[in-house]
Structure 1
Amino acid sequence: MDGNVENPCAASGSQAGYVLSNVAEVVERILTFVPTKSLLRTACVCRLWRNCARRVLRTQQRVAWVSATGCGSGKGHVLHRKLAEEMENMYLLPQTVLLMADCETISGQDCCYGQKKVRKTDSSELALELNALFPRGCEILGMATSGVVLTPNGRYSSPPQEHQDGEAGFALMFPGMDGVTLRPFHFCKRSLSQTALEEAGLVGNPDLRVVLLFEYEAFKSRAARFLNKVLEPLAQSNALIAGGHVENVFTPSRECCGRGCYGMTGLALSGSRIQGASVLLDQDVVSEKSAEATLQRLKAANIPERNTLGFMFACLGRGHNYYGGKRNVEADAFRKVFPNTPLFGFFGNGEIGCDRIVTGSYTLSQTDTESLQHSYTTVMVLVHLG
């Protein structure tokens, strides 16, 4: 369509042309069926359509995701190829993207010990390609992990899957949401300070409800002390803290801390509408039955299932090897207890979290930093976005 045309349908002289040029209610209803990329182009047609498009975008407040598995013969990671296809038909305008992919396929600095000889995707190239896929201003947190937990594209009730080997990944996309503030953050040894914590909303923020944090290069000298500097103020807050150690972070840019340095990225979620709960599956959980029993404690938190996401942060020593060769035990247990909640996460070299509930009427007890850090465990999390 010509962006210089003020009345796109008036020339026809038809009744339909008049309606599409003047009746906002009809135009707005029609635009609800238009994917976001096309909607943004449509907004350039005329003032009426621009205003209608803006109102439609404000109604698209539900989280969406794209996930992909398998190994294609083409260039690039399977998730990137899937995103390129799906973004043309996406019905939301993402402002923040949480993306995780297997480190066996994504090459990066010191990424994934004992890598197999498989097709590689350069992490810096992938970061540039991802930035080109998403709208300008969209903030992307991209991580390479030892294994990926994802829910296939489709309905919220699709069965989640654990992928400890092979090519896999997901992109969880958050639009602007009323009553919810998402602040991505990234710290390294040079940028971490009290001021930086405050600017990220992690300190001095009474509306903080949930923090998802991911440390990289955690085996480096002084990385443990670095993590404690972030966890100490958070442990004393009334917020749910969960995450773990990932292999590599390829976006945002890590130029500030240099190659091979440790650091942390994550999301701070603030807002009175947010609720959350988490439980720890410790080393005593060794069977399907005990995993389900632990998740029943999470169910008892009474977090609403609508508009809720599940997260699973597991030790790479768990999974099918931990459960005697049986795959997908913990993801299946989650789906049995929460059949309509999608699940996302990773397998890593350490887990962060504990048993916590964050609701409007619940006061949390204080927790020290050591009780938030674990190994050979799984942290299961629910985050309700209102």
Structure 2
Amino acid sequence: MDQAPLSVENMDGNVEYQCTATGSKAGYVLSNVAEVVERILTFVPTKSLLRTACVCRLWRNCARRVLRTQQRVTWVSSTGSGSGEGHVLCKNLVEEVENIYLLPQTVLLMVDSETINGQDCCYRQKKARKADSVDPAEELSMLFPRGCEILGIATPGVVLTPSGSCSSMPQEHQDGEAGFALMFPSIDGVTIRPFHFCKQSLSQTALEDAGLVGNPDLRVVLLFGYEAFKSGAARFLNKVLEPLAQSSALIAGGHVENVFTHSRECCGRGSYGVVGLALSGSRIQGASVLLDQDVSSEKSAEAAIQRLKSANIPERNTLGFMFACVGRGHNYYSGKRNVEADTFRKVFPNTPLFGFFGNGEIGCDRIVTGNYTLTETDPDSLQHGYTTVMTLVHLG
């Protein structure tokens, strides 16, 4: 009669299997050969991996090493209809976040403002919430690890790359329900700091704490102003842009409808402000070009984006961002849709593209690499209308 293998825990906290001659040695291998365990765990999605790490010390150490290797940005994007059950992106994230292969540290979400605002989901104080309303910021925070920073932005239109492949065709959605969630893991040599400023919180100290001032490693700033048409909003934005304009960092973004994220007490509903991500680290490279108002044909759009190609930014682990005026898109190209997104993919076939159609654009022609030389600019030259800012961000 065959004997079942016996198991004991050794002094290191690992589970050792004492197999009989007729018993399987699989248990012993899975509990004692780190190389085998680690290889197997690379095929396990992160949420399941974290649960697996609780089995024993060996599996925990292997899981940690696997997580450290997962340094590629991933994303979930959605279009269509949420069928009255919230925004389609929020609905799909509940399912898709179970299958991702990284541990998110920072998440950038962009959704169409028509749908999300119709659900009373804009940036607001806790005391302003309806007692029976469901706050998507709170729901989203429950999907991601504790401490993960979530920046949610609502815009008139969304530019996204479908989930699954970097080479998927990017799409411009000026109408209808659409959104994406970009998930950034911890990346060696890269620091990503979300920031938020309103008239109550903006100060020199706050700019320094966000890494926007006095930070020699600052490389890229993605910056978004909300409620930009309120009185005082333009002057406020200039206070943020002035020190950045004198830096050697790449600045890109634009004006959005509003922001939904973890509630803050410093400003109330309807207040103007600025949010964004500050990316620092010597491994980061970036480049941007401005498609000015005279770029209104497929040929001129391709010529402008070819200037971006000349920056020689590596395509691996690189993201494309498109920040366009709501007045562009198919209306600007004689009714033809997806012109700029299609042109970007033609020039960069393996780089995913994300962004929005907004109420004004921030950026200029600029290259930030290891040995760049840039001239100073001023805040006014960073702000535009009826343009598109195309940007590449390489994360090393």
The TM tier, using the shorter chain, reads over 0.9
Whether 1:10 and 2:17 are equivalent positions in the alignment is: yes
How far apart are the structure 2 equivalents of 1:326 and 1:56?
Answer: 45
Contact 1:79/1:169, CA 8 A, preserved across alignment: yes
Q: CA deviation at 1:124?
A: 6.1
Question: Shift of residue 11 of structure 1?
Answer: 7.2
**Pairwise mapping of residues 1-386 of structure 1 onto structure 2 (< 5 A)?**
7=14, 10=17, 14-107=24-117, 125-386=135-396
In the alignment, structure 2 segments of 5+ residues that lack a partner are 1-7, 123-131
- For the residues of structure 1 that align with 2:84 and 2:192, how far apart are their CA atoms? 35
Deviation string for 1:122-146 (max 9, x for gaps)? Answer: 9961111100111111100001100
Q: Give me the whole-angstrom Cα distance separating, in 2, the residues matched to 1:101 and 1:73.
A: 16
CA distance in 2, matches of 1:367, 1:336: 31
Q: Is the 8 A contact 2:246 2:378 kept in 1?
A: yes
CA contact (8 A) 1:9 1:20 kept: no
Aligned length: 373
| TM-score, structure 2 normalization | 0.91
Distance 2:291 2:134 in 1: 35
1:248 maps to a residue whose letter is N
Amino acid of the structure 2 residue aligned with 1:345: G
Structure 1 position 82, deviation (Å): 1.1
Residues 225, 273 of structure 2: 8 Å contact kept: yes
Deviations 1:290-328 (A, max 9, x none): 000000111111111111100000000000111111100
Partner of 1:118: none
**Structure 1: distance between partners of 2:265 and 2:134:** 11
1:107 counterpart letter in structure 2: N
> In 1, Cα distance between the equivalents of 2:279 and 2:25?
48
**Shift, 1:41, TM fit:** 0.3
1:184-217: per-residue Cα shift (whole Å, max 9, x none)?
Answer: 1111110100000000000000000000011111
Shift, 1:9, TM fit: 6.7
**Larger displacement relative to structure 2 (123-132 or 149-158):** 123-132
Provide the rounded CA distance (Å) in 2 between the counterparts of 1:57 and 1:74.
36
SS at match of 2:37: helix
Match of 1:119 in 2: none
Q: Is the 8 A contact 2:225 2:256 kept in 1?
A: yes
Which letter maps to 1:333? T
Offset at residue 283 of structure 1 (A):
0.5
Contact 1:107 1:123 in 2 (8 A): no
Distance in 2 (CA, whole Å) between partners of 1:254 and 1:147 is: 25
Q: Contact (CA 8 Å) 1:110, 1:260: kept in 2 or not?
A: no
Q: Aligned partners of 2:232, 2:133: CA distance in 1, in Å?
A: 25
Over the aligned positions, Cα root-mean-square deviation in angstroms equals 1.7
3-state DSSP of counterpart to 1:105: helix
1:74 to partner: Cα distance = 4.7
User: What amino acid is the match of 1:154?
Assistant: G
Question: Could you give the per-residue CA deviations for residues 221-271 of structure 1, whole angstroms, max 9, x where no partner exists?
Answer: 100011000100000000000000110101032431111100111000001
- 1:354 offset after TM fit, Å? 0.2
Aligned 8 A contact 1:351 1:374 in 2 = yes
- Normalising by the residue count of structure 1, what TM-score does the alignment of the two structures yield? 0.93
Note closer, same or farther for the CA distance 1:9–1:106 as it changes in structure 2 (3 Å cut).
farther
Pairwise CA distance, 1:7? 5.0
Once the two structures are overlaid, the 10-residue window that deviates more, 215-224 or 17-26, is 17-26
SS at match of 2:213: coil
Structure 1 residue 18 displacement after superposition: 1.2
Check conservation: 2:14, 2:58, Cα contact below 8 A: no
**1:197 aligns to what SS in structure 2?**
helix
2: distance between equivalents of 1:110 and 1:218?
18
Bigger radius of gyration: 2
Whether the aligned pair in 2 keeps the contact of 1:124 and 1:250 (CA below 8 Å) is no
5+ residue gaps, structure 1, are: 112-121
Partner SS for 2:193: strand
Partner of 1:115: none
Identity of aligned residues (%): 83
- Per-residue CA shift, 1:341-370, capped at 9, x if unaligned? 100000000100000000111111101000
